[in-house]
Structure 1
């Protein structure tokens, strides 16, 4: 891992704006289970926001394996694809207080970038990472907007 801040391309993906353009982008969030197995979950642009190139906030569903792993270890790795590159962030996590008036209750985390790496290949172009299609874009985008607003509090 090289620098301790995310790249400009990744920051653009995670800046919390233009969600309608990012609704198909999904990223991989990796944690470690109690029995030391890697655990992979998907996270969308509506569940993570970069405050700057070193600090992020994440909103995860309560009670999931990923959420439990993050609470227990205080660590996760984000793998994302943007700007024709693969981006990997090692994150140090701190659970944030619950928002009693949250419209969509989530377990919230503050994250700092502990390490960052951008990966490219000279012999190939990375065209896409995980791509999704929302079943009900209007409903999901509204929920994402509110979730990101609540993450900023």
Structure 2
């Protein structure tokens, strides 16, 4: 059953994306949906180390330069973030603006700030949604350090 909410993150979504306690969130992955030049949907996986909520209405994203996803976002300035949390699938429409490149970035990324255009949450009355995409980091300590540094650079 789909419900459309105000264009802002719920407390649960904000807590997931706030950039804090990454070690407790390291297994969470999300899908970032964009549209290619050929008008095909394109899906990329992102982690809690590549997105940070500034507040309930704005997030910042760090995307790998030169990727299809980064090119799509630069071209359209739109994306949809899809994630599972607390038994619901959340679809968060983002209106993005490209941020300046950080010349001295430790982890060079295309950086974007996004206004949340809409949030839709979905449940199924006949089934419980128990999990979304889960990952297992191969070198957790190194990845968590990179994520913390990437999020710190996103906040500049």
| Fold shared by both chains (TM-score > 0.5) | yes
133, 137, 140: which one aligns with 1:134: 137
Match of 1:46 in 2: 49
Query: How many corresponding residue pairs?
Result: 153
Asked if residue 113 in structure 1 is aligned to residue 119 in structure 2, the reply is: no
Tell me the TM-score normalized by structure 2. 0.96
Between the aligned partners of 1:41 and 1:18, the Cα distance in structure 2 is 23
Match of 1:87 in 2: 90
Q: CA deviation at 1:2?
A: 3.4
Asked if residue 2 in structure 1 is aligned to residue 5 in structure 2, the reply is: yes
- Match of 2:55, SS? coil
Following superposition of structure 1 onto structure 2, how do residues 4-43 of structure 1 map, counting pairs within 5 Å? 4-43=7-46
Between the aligned partners of 1:127 and 1:16, the Cα distance in structure 2 is 23
Match of 2:74 in 1: 71
Q: Which runs of 5+ in 2 are unaligned?
A: none
Q: CA deviation at 1:57?
A: 0.2
44, 47, 62: which one aligns with 1:59: 62
- Match of 2:105, SS? coil
Q: CA deviation at 1:122?
A: 2.2
Q: Which runs of 5+ in 1 are unaligned?
A: none
Q: CA deviation at 1:125?
A: 1.4
Runs of 4+ in 1 over 4 A off after TM superposition: none
Q: CA RMSD in A?
A: 0.8
Q: Is the contact made by 1:10 and 1:80 (CA closer than 8 Å) also made in structure 2?
A: no
Tell me the TM-score normalized by structure 1. 0.97
Match of 1:145 in 2: 148
